[in-house]
Structure 1
């Protein structure tokens, strides 16, 4: 296994490439192919599909108490992010506490209940009241986590990959329509293809009849919208369950399965990300002014200290992007398409950063147990 092609240069593609070089030092060449590449000034009409650059992003696991597999992916990544945040300044990872608030009727997140994360403590009733939340209905916890500044972290990953001398990152101006087309594009057949295309998996898989169900019914976007404000905080604040319908934008209410929440992530560039919404199966790049106003109105209530200096909150800019979702969760699987060997790693939704290293470890395990042993390419 000397030559590998990775399709997709978001956090999943770059992280997978880096982990494979660590796990398989005999790899001679990795070529990363993508329509969107960090630090590439050429914008396209698919920019809102390149979700990694537009993510929040913090580490807060969404895994249910029953989903032990996803918990492990998230925990592996959490531990490595915390180490990077402490040891590698240029990673763009900022360690800080998250103040998390949710209804008492909701289950306590697994990582708080098991204290899988660092420095877990309960938040007082007086702070709940300060944030306009009823202590009879809400509870809050504080724990140590991190905020990732995506464009800095992705640039860090790209630099680490290019330093190895084994990685080429090549822009493709069109989406690939088959895995065989990658061989034509490169001029040689890679030993293995890693599919980290996110929502782009629809395009490349639509060629194959065996993937009709996957393309038609499983791959779907979760549209998000966030604001960037020129403020800073020494901690994150997250309100999972909004107190009333008045906190939800009318636009969100019109979309089946959509929901709105409130969070603020101070990043290492001095700005704060404020969000957000999740709109299933909405593929457009329409930016709702009403949603942005609702997001800011909510954060003013839940984080009143933002205006205690007398300077009102000003939105620097706001934008939308599509989380690469999949019914049934992320797809991690080895599969053959004719003479093309492929390992899939797509469909993680909004957990792309917080699960990235755990998912890449799983890709390496699949290669070892499924691809290398079955094909005897040792």
Structure 2
């Protein structure tokens, strides 16, 4: 295996490319293809599918208590991010505490119960009261984690990849409707294609009848966040809002949508305030009412943000989390003469699972491609 194409230039694509180059030094050429690429001019009609650039991410696992595979993926990524945050200044990763608050009736997250993260402690009743939350109803934990500033981290990954001399990043506004289209654009047939296209997987799989049911599983989860010119030495995440008074009308009117409240201070001095998740909604329309409610809620929960004056929104932003019914697709499949590994559909956990999933891709390369080559 000497030539590889990674289709998709978000965090999944860049991280997968990095791991493959590190694990398989015999790769001579790796091309990353994307419609939206960090540090390149944006194509605005597609930009809301490229969730990576404008927001903020923290490492807070969404894995269920019995989803041990996803837990392992998240732990691997957590450890790598913490190492980068401590040792690489230009990575865009900032280590800090997350104050996680939820109903007492909510199951304590597995990573707290298993001590899979650092610096775990309970939040006092006095602090819950300070944040306007009843300690008879709420519980809270602090633990050490990190905020990832996506546009800095992705630029860091791109720079590291291009420094290898083996990796090329190419922008393509053309939609691929098959892996033949990808080959036509590349000008060569790669030994391996890694499909990290997120929501774009609906297009690239569209000419394969065997993928009809799969395409129906791929769904967007619309999100909206505010970027504010405020800083904090910690994150706050309120998972369970106290009442419907904290919900915006927009979320109430969408089946399956939910709202939460969090603030992630980034490494550039700004902070992200969120958020909402609306399944099956594809548009990129910003709802003023949503932004107002997000700021109103976070002001209640984090009064520190208004100690030096009211919050002003620098900008707000809508983007789509690339979801998939059943969770991430991570498997190998052959399409005519193309070797393809899929890595898409992780939804809102793209950053926090990125390194672990990329390592899973590298294992599929070993078992599904290199072992077959060795038997020829």
CA distance in 1, matches of 2:354, 2:151: 15
Checking the alignment, whether the CA contact within 8 Å between 1:4 and 1:29 is kept in structure 2 is yes
| Aligned equivalent of 1:34 | 34
Whole-angstrom CA distance in 2 between matches of 1:2 and 1:148: 32
Match of 1:285 in 2: 284
Match of 2:311 in 1: 313
Partners of 2:207 and 2:36 in 1: CA distance:
22
Which residue is equivalent to 1:85?
85
Task: Indicate the SS of the match to 1:53.
Answer: coil
Distance 1:42 1:263 in 2: 27
CA positional deviation for 1:64: 0.7
Q: Is the 8 A contact 1:334 1:371 kept in 2?
A: no
Deviates more, 1:8-17 or 1:184-193: 184-193
Q: Let me know the Cα RMSD of the aligned residues.
A: 1.0
2:211 counterpart of 1:211: yes
Structure 1 position 101 matched with structure 2 position 101? yes
Q: Greater CA deviation, 19-28 or 50-59?
A: 50-59
Equivalent residue for 1:20? 20
**What secondary structure, in the 3-state scheme, does the structure 2 residue paired with 1:147 have?**
strand
C-alpha distance in 2 between matches for 1:238 and 1:338: 47
Q: Which of 340, 345, 350 is the equivalent residue of 2:343?
A: 345
Is 1:194 aligned to 2:167, yes or no?
Answer: no
Match of 2:364 among 366, 370, 374: 366
**5+ long unaligned stretches in structure 1:** none
SS at match of 2:59: coil
1:306-356 C-alpha deviation (Å, 9 max, x unpaired)? 1122x1110111010000000000000000010111000000000000000
Displacement of 1:377 after TM fit? 7.7
* Separation (CA, whole Å) in 2 of partners of 1:14 and 1:42: 17
Instruction: Give how far 1:136 is off.
Output: 0.5
Distance (Å, rounded) in 2 between the aligned partners of 1:20 and 1:93: 22
Alpha-carbon contact 2:4-2:191 (below 8 Å) kept: yes
C-alpha contact (below 8 Å) 1:73/1:359 kept by paired residues: yes
Query: 1:202-281 maps to which residues of 2 (within 5 A)?
Result: 202-216=202-216, 218-281=217-280
Specify the alignment match of 1:294 in structure 2. 293
Distance 1:72 1:220, change over 3 A: same
- Deviation track 1:101-147 (CA, whole Å, cap 9, x = no partner) reads 00011100000011110000001000000001110010000000000
Could you tell me how far 1:187 is from its partner in structure 2?
Answer: 1.7
Distance, in Å, in 1 between the alignment partners of 2:300 and 2:42 is 39
Q: What whole-Å deviation, never above 9, does each CA across 1:3-52 have from its counterpart, x for those lacking one?
A: 00000000000000000011111111100011110000242301000011
Residue equivalent to 1:173: 173
Aligned length: 376
1:265 is displaced (CA, Å) by 0.2
Q: Secondary structure at the match of 2:53?
A: helix
Superposition TM-score, scaled by structure 2 size: 0.99
**In the aligned structure 2, how far is the partner of 1:165 from the partner of 1:55?**
30
Moved over 2 A (4+): 374-378
- Offset, 1:54: 3.1
Deviates more, 1:179-188 or 1:282-291: 179-188
**Residue of 325, 341, 364 corresponding to 1:327:** 325
Q: 1:56-86 deviations in whole A, cap 9, x for unaligned?
A: 2111001010100111111000000000000
Native 8 Å contact 2:55 2:272 kept in 1: no
Contact 1:5 1:33 in 2 (8 A): yes
Distance 1:348 1:55 in 2: 16
SS in 2 for 1:260: strand
